[in-house]
Amino acid sequence: MAQDTNSKLTTAEGRPIGDFQNSMTAGPRGPLLIQDVQLLEQMQQFNRERIPERVVHAKGVAAHGTFTVTNDITKYTKADFLNKIGKKTDVFLRFSTVAGEKGAADAERDVRGFALKFYTQEGNWDMVGNNTPVFFIRDPVKFAHFIHTQKRHPKTNMRDMDMQWDFWSQCPESLHQVTILFSDRGLPKTLRNMNGYGSHTYSFINDKNERTWVKFHFKTKQGIKCMTDAESAELIGKDRESHQRDLFNSIEKGDFPQWRFCIQVMNDQQAKDFKWNPFDLTKVWPHADFPLIEVGTLELNRNPENYHAEVEQASFSPSSLVPGIETSPDKMLQARLMSYADAHRYRIGTNYQQLPINRPKCPLANYHRDGSMATAADYGSKPNYFPNTIDGTPKDDPAYKECPMPLATDDDGQVIADRYNSRENHDDFTQAGNLWRLMPEDEKNRTANAIAGVLSQARQEVQMLQLCHFFRADPDYGQRIAKAMNIEIPEDLLQHAVTGK
Ligand code: NDP
């Protein structure tokens, strides 16, 4: 709503206000009068100032910016905003922590959300990623349980290390992400000094309707910088909004952070031959086999004017896709296609897409109508049903049909619906071990100490189960954590821990 800041002060209904510093009372010492409607309006409005915070990623900070294409990737995708070198698209990027509530400190060890909205000429593309290329689970049936373990204990109402490690020890597919979380990158120094990843595998579709599997990477141009546990504890003591402050101030003084947007691509044959499931969210695609291809530059260059309107009400959903970018069989992605938009309808309301921050900047025409807070102005008396025989009404166009997606079949060529065991025949240890092996010595020690510090707070049974997972990833990884926890592992048990035999 446009507002003339020099205009008269009014009620929400527009009535000019004569005195807004004194309530209306019956005599100078008397009680308030219910006829003081401007006071009532203010108090009632104030009671409703908050909307439910996000159940995850509640603490966030965001900025507007620009994406510029630097490389021609039209052989992979027909996405309009990627079709010409030099083409610019407005973006909005929201960073967040995952577990903490809205008032949580920024500098806590956690995964960071990296949710990016591209306002393209063919609709909004939301790249709802994290600062890690993988996730803790591969089956969405575990998601709510996982988040419960990251939040508060039902009795103590405190974060609880036993809950966290109990769950992780029962779900070794988490080990890769746990390794990243407790490595240096679990504590980014600033939001400008970390990478973003789409994490899931998506599809690119080109103008010949050919599909390529794709992963998205945003590499910081500011360089990776991290904090130690001691530095973060000290910072939290001084400033709970350290990351928000850093980003806001950098942009305010014209020091605009940038990221290099890159992709990895995989064709169908490579997907079949890949030694891991290419749609498993707990795995990366090794760079040596699938090198990064540069696409463009993302720059953040404008702070929001109003935090609530722009950041709190910003709604990102992996289901916001544009022609040329489609889904994949990744189970976690499939579930997120439903759950994000559903969360926004609960948290903000049915018509959250009509808010200025969420509204696409391209022409819009559909048959959605009504619901709470609907702005009917765009549609007026236009038909609210389809198909119809009325001239000038919006019509579908076969040019924009999704590309048919192949699904894996059994030997008889059938697709069988079943509850496939998401733990069976999965290698949960190699990639976590690969990451451990590429860490420099000092990072290995910091990672082992960070894990030992919190794993020690879990029950002994949980400690032992989890230690076995670290040993399976790499004996040195397990040994360093055990040592930091003052746990002596006898040789025969060590053998059992590594091989499971
Ligand atoms: P490479 O040696 O080609 O790449 C290693 C990658 O690890 C780089 O992207 C580097 O990021 C990143 N990295 C370094 N330290 C950390 C850390 N503490 N936490 C998270 N990422 C880190 O190896 P591969 O591609 O063969 O992958 C080996 C391992 O590297 C994987 O198992 C995975 O854990 C990790 N990794 C791989 C990624 C991928 O897409 N292949 C992406 C991110 C991590 P940078 O270049 O920014 O320094």
Nearest CA to ligand 1 atom 20: 180
- What is the separation of C-alpha 121 from the centre of its chain, rounded to a whole number of angstroms? 23
Phi, psi of 78 (to 5 degrees): -95, 10
DSSP 188: B
428 Cα to the center of ligand 1, angstroms: 16
Q: Using alpha carbons, select from 455, 489, 479, 495 the residue that is nearest to residue 178.
A: 455
Q: Using alpha carbons, select from 290, 294, 339, 281 the residue that is nearest to residue 315.
A: 339
Is pTM beyond 0.85? Reply is: yes
279 within 8 A of 249, measured Cβ to Cβ = no
DSSP 25: B
Give the binding-site residues of ligand 1, using a 6 Å CB cut-off: 133, 176, 180, 183-185, 195, 219, 224, 284-288, 431, 434-435, 438
Catalytic residue among 124, 130, 131, 358: 130
In 70-210, beta strands by DSSP E: 88-97, 112-120, 123-130, 196-197, 202-205
Nearest CA to ligand 1 atom 25: 286
**Could you give the 3-state DSSP secondary structure of residue 467?**
helix
181 Cα to the center of ligand 1, angstroms: 13
Burial of 203 (0-12, 13-18, 19+ CB in 10 A): buried
Give the Cβ contact number of residue 419 at 10 Å. Answer: 7
Nearest CA to ligand 1 atom 8: 287
Nearest CA to ligand 1 atom 35: 435
481 Cα to the center of ligand 1, angstroms: 21
241 Cα to the center of ligand 1, angstroms: 28
Q: Is the dihedral of CA 68, 73, 74, 80 positive or negative?
A: negative
Instruction: Please tell me the predicted confidence (pLDDT) of residue 420.
Output: 87
Q: Which amino acid makes up residue 359?
A: R
* Helix-helix angle 475-484:430-438, to 10 degrees: 70
57 is catalytic: yes
Q: Alpha helices, DSSP H only, in 310-377?
A: 331-347
Q: What is the number of the ligand 1 atom nearest to the C-alpha of 215?
A: 40
Instruction: Please tell me the predicted confidence (pLDDT) of residue 120.
Output: 98
Q: What is the number of the ligand 1 atom nearest to the C-alpha of 292?
A: 40
Q: Using alpha carbons, select from 137, 132, 133 the residue that is nearest to residue 147.
A: 137
Burial of 272 (0-12, 13-18, 19+ CB in 10 A): exposed
Please give the helix or strand (H or E) that residue 100 lies within, else none: none
Q: Using alpha carbons, select from 157, 169, 177, 201 the residue that is nearest to residue 98.
A: 177
Nearest CA to ligand 1 atom 24: 286
Nearest CA to ligand 1 atom 48: 224
368 is catalytic: no
Q: What is the number of the ligand 1 atom nearest to the C-alpha of 439?
A: 15
Q: 284, 442, 447: which to mutate for ligand 1, most atoms within 8 A of CB?
A: 284
Instruction: Please tell me the predicted confidence (pLDDT) of residue 1.
Output: 47
407 Cα to the center of ligand 1, angstroms: 29
Q: Is the dihedral of CA 77, 80, 83, 85 positive or negative?
A: negative
Q: What is the number of the ligand 1 atom nearest to the C-alpha of 443?
A: 18
Q: What is the number of the ligand 1 atom nearest to the C-alpha of 220?
A: 47
Q: Which residues of 308-322 are buried (b: 16+ CB within 10 A; e: fewer)?
A: eebbbbbbbbbebbb
**Could you give the 3-state DSSP secondary structure of residue 2?**
coil
Q: Using alpha carbons, select from 347, 358, 351 the residue that is nearest to residue 374.
A: 351
Distance of CA 107 to CAs 123, 226, 229, 445, Å?
34, 10, 9, 21
439 Cα to the center of ligand 1, angstroms: 10
216 Cα to the center of ligand 1, angstroms: 14
Residues 6+ apart with CB under 8 A from 432: 175, 176, 178, 179, 473, 474, 477
Phi, psi of 294 (to 5 degrees): -75, 145
Set out the domains of the chain in order of their start, with CATH numbers: 60-136+173-354 (2.40.180.10), 430-499 (no CATH)
Nearest CA to ligand 1 atom 21: 180
- Tell me what percent of the chain is helix, strand and coil, each rounded to the nearest 5: 35, 15, 50
The rounded radius of gyration (Å) of the Cα atoms in the chain is 26
133 Cα to the center of ligand 1, angstroms: 9
Please state the three-class secondary structure of 282-312 as a single string.
CCCCCCCCCCCEEEEEEEEEECCCCHHHHHH
Q: Pairing mode, if any, of strands 88-97 and 293-302?
A: unpaired
Q: pLDDT (tens digit, 0 to 9) for every residue of the chain, 501 residues total?
A: 445 566 899 999 999 999 999 999 999 999 999 999 999 999 999 999 999 999 999 999 999 999 999 999 999 999 999 999 999 999 999 999 999 999 999 999 999 999 999 999 999 999 999 999 999 999 999 999 999 999 999 999 999 999 999 999 999 999 999 999 999 999 999 999 999 999 999 999 999 999 999 999 999 999 999 999 999 999 999 999 999 999 999 999 999 999 999 999 999 999 999 999 999 999 999 999 999 999 999 999 999 999 999 999 999 999 999 999 999 999 999 999 999 999 999 999 999 999 999 999 999 999 999 999 888 667 888 999 999 999 999 999 999 999 999 888 888 889 999 998 877 778 999 999 999 999 999 999 999 999 999 999 999 999 999 999 999 999 999 999 999 999 988 777 777 767 766
Q: What is the number of the ligand 1 atom nearest to the C-alpha of 286?
A: 25
Catalytic residue among 57, 64, 200, 469: 57
